[in-house]
């Protein structure tokens, strides 16, 4: 058995020589890691620097505040919502899209985002409104409305269902049950929500 001599002690000097985008990526990753493990209240610039194996000054040179750092970390790490599912029925499309949203919620960036939403006071949260809305809420609602519009074309969905109130139901429900009931949204729970809540809401003839 060959034992490597490459230890943390020898690795650290190399990491300190990182520059530019490589170092910035390491700092942003460390910020996401802290958010997903200790939350917004536990995150410190010193802890992020330690996680990125760099000096605190390197963090402050790029981000003068914790809010600035977290906003950029979220923006860089959030998953993209591209292309609405097209599986032949509104039920299958909604289930697939909800699974995608669930996976994003429980990814490391998703956990970090929820820490910000749940722990920040209103003034702090305002700093992240644009990142959250433009990076998560707006893209997801756009895909939901695409699925609903396609269902209208197929005659599966009532013609007046393509509105922001209907589109808000799924993300609101998923966030509410995640926060208030600790639901991690299994595939079975997603299918039940779509079948029991969304399909009756969307079907032609629904009030």
**pLDDT, tens digit (0-9, with 9 covering 90-100), for 5-58:** 323 333 344 445 667 899 999 999 999 999 999 999 999 999 999 999 999 999
Whole-number pLDDT of residue 206? 60
Q: How far apart are the first and last CA of the chain?
A: 71
Residue 2 clears pLDDT 50, i.e. is over it: no
In angstroms, the CA 30 to CA 42 distance is 13
Whole-number pLDDT of residue 100? 92
The residue extents of the domains of the chain are 8-76, 79-202
| Mean pLDDT, residues 106-129 | 85
- Mean residue pLDDT of the chain comes to 86
| Mean pLDDT, residues 115-135 | 84
- pTM assigned to the model: 0.78
What is the per-residue pLDDT across 62-114, written as a single tens digit (0 to 9) for each? 999 999 999 999 988 887 888 899 999 999 999 999 999 999 888 888 888 88
Please tell me what DSSP assigns to residue 79: P
In angstroms, the CA 144 to CA 173 distance is 14
Q: Which residue has the higher pLDDT, 143 or 114?
A: 143
Binning pLDDT at 50, 70 and 90, where does residue 59 land?
A: very high
Whole-number pLDDT of residue 16? 52
Architecture of domain 8-76 in CATH?
Orthogonal Bundle (1.10)
H-type helices in 78-137, by residue range?
90-105, 108-119, 122-132
In angstroms, the CA 69 to CA 64 distance is 8
Whole-number pLDDT of residue 14? 41
What is the per-residue pLDDT across 149-187, written as a single tens digit (0 to 9) for each? 999 999 999 999 999 899 999 999 988 888 787 778 999
CB 183 within 8 A of CB 98: no
CB 93 within 8 A of CB 86: yes
Residue 3 clears pLDDT 50, i.e. is over it: no
Binning pLDDT at 50, 70 and 90, where does residue 127 land?
A: confident
Q: Which CATH superfamily is domain 79-202 in?
A: Tetracycline Repressor, domain 2 (1.10.357.10)
């Amino acid at each position: 058995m060959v034992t490597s001599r490459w230890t943390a002690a020898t690795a650290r000097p190399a990491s300190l020589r990182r520059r530019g985008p490589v170092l910035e990526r390491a700092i942003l990753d460390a910020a996401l890691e802290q958010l997903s493990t200790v939350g917004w209240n536990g995150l410190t610039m010193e802890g992020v620097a330690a996680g990125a194996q760099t000096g605190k000054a390197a963090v402050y040179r790029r981000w003068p505040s914790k809010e600035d750092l977290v906003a950029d970390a979220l923006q860089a790490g959030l998953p993209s919502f591209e292309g609405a599912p097209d599986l032949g029925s509104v039920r299958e499309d909604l289930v697939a899209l909800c699974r995608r949203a669930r996976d994003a919620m429980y990814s490391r960036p998703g956990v970090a985002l929820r820490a910000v939403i749940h722990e920040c006071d209103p003034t702090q949260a305002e700093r992240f409104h644009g990142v959250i809305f433009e990076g998560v809420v707006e893209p997801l609602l756009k895909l939901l409305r695409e699925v609903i519009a396609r269902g209208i074309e197929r005659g599966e969905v009532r013609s007046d269902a393509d509105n922001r109130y209907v589109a808000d139901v799924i993300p609101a429900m998923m966030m509410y049950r995640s926060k208030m009931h600790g639901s991690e949204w299994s595939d079975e729970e997603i299918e039940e929500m779509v079948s029991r809540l969304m399909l009756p809401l969307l079907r032609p003839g629904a009030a």
